[in-house]
Amino acid sequence: MQRLMIVVPCYNEEEILPYSIEKLTGVIKNLIKKSKIASNSGILFVNDGSKDKTWEIIQNEYAKNPYVYGLGLAGNVGHQNALFAGLQTAAEICDFSISIDADLQDDIEVIEQMVDEYLSGADIVYGVRSERKTDTFFKRFTAQSFYRIMEMMGVKTVYNHADFRLMSARAMKQLGQYKERNLFLRGMVPLIGYKTATVTYARKERLAGESKYPLKKMLSFAWDGITSFSIKPISMIMAFGGVIVACSVIAFIYTLVSYFMGHVSPGWSSLMISIWFLGGVQLLFIGVVGQYVGKTYIESKERPRYNVEKFLNHEE
């Protein structure tokens, strides 16, 4: 039987944690009862340097609940890093994991469906929000714009999928091969390329505690996502430079015509043309330099060049 670890990053979640522990323990027990997962399956709570009682709660629970595991990080490293730490730790001890936020805004009812997809051969199962009724208009709007911009930038993401997902141990280990420091997991996981499946659910409201993603963090997360995955902004600078150079040609013709019609003050024509032309050329060349910087940036990530799905080998 396959061993499951549910991975839960927690930052200052004392208010909701007892409830989440109870619910998730129920999920694990139920799956064990149905003989879908091994009896030593469990929930790995990752404490992301919380300042409240989160770690105490995890420790106390660990002492009495055989399904609860804990990973205490030495400081606050942020949601993505905490989740990554949990996944890398889980990869060593289990056959597959499911990551979910501590507030259980993602529907635990579909966990069983995810497990079924895994058991029928999927390496990665994405939880996808079918609707966002409980989110404010603002959150919906910003989220939608975000997915659209990412698409424009050529980054592959799964629409309306956050970090509620199932991963097999080999997928988690493969994820560990991505050496970058700036993590944007929902962009990285689709790069792995193993067999995937999706399950849909309706996202719920947070029952207690506050969102740890206020607008400022949301914007910086989106910006991280774009800049970690795309050097398209550099190409845009270059294209913009090209447009300005083209404009300078028009300006050139215009000033020339004005000059021959005789109603310009002396010096104006040459000034106009040089400003436009030099501005454009500079921008264009910054873009060219940027392309090299961008390439160096991509190289510095040391991402794996390929991931092997299967090796048909007679010697095995």
- Contacts with ligand UDP by CB under 6 A lie at 9-11, 13, 48, 76, 78-79, 82, 101-103, 105, 211-213
# binding residues, Mg ion (CB under 5 A): 3
Q: Give the nearer residue to ligand UDP in terms of CB position, either 105 or 230.
A: 105
Q: What are the Cα distances from residue 246, in Å, to 50, 55, 65?
A: 55, 61, 70
106: partner contacted, choices Mg ion, ligand UDP, none (Cβ within 5-8 A by kind): none
CB of 190 to ligand UDP, least distance (A): 20
CB of 169 to ligand UDP, least distance (A): 22
103 near Mg ion, rule: CB under 5 A: yes
CB of 168 to Mg ion, least distance (A): 25
Question: Which region, judged by CB under 5 A, interacts with Mg ion, from 90-98, 99-107, 245-253, 256-264?
Answer: 99-107
CB of 171 to Mg ion, least distance (A): 24
Do the strands 124-131 and 68-72 form a parallel or antiparallel pair, or are they unpaired? unpaired
203: partner contacted, choices Mg ion, ligand UDP, none (Cβ within 5-8 A by kind): none
Cα dihedral angle (78, 53, 210, 217), rounded to 10 degrees? -20
With both helix axes pointing from N to C terminus, report the angle between 215-229 and 185-192 in degrees, rounded to the nearest 10. Answer: 30
Token digits of residue 135: 């989110």
Q: In whole angstroms, what is the distance from residue 174 CA to residue 162 CA?
A: 19
20 near Mg ion, rule: CB under 5 A: no
CB of 130 to ligand UDP, least distance (A): 17
Q: What are the Cα distances from residue 299, in Å, to 23, 156, 180, 247, 292?
A: 43, 19, 10, 35, 11
> What is the H or E stretch that residue 5 is in?
strand 4-10
Q: In whole angstroms, what is the distance from residue 112 CA to residue 14 CA?
A: 26
Count of all residues that appear for the chain in the document: 316
Q: Give the nearer residue to ligand UDP in terms of CB position, either 14 or 180.
A: 14
105 near Mg ion, rule: CB under 5 A: yes
The footprint of Mg ion (CB under 5 A) covers 101, 103, 105
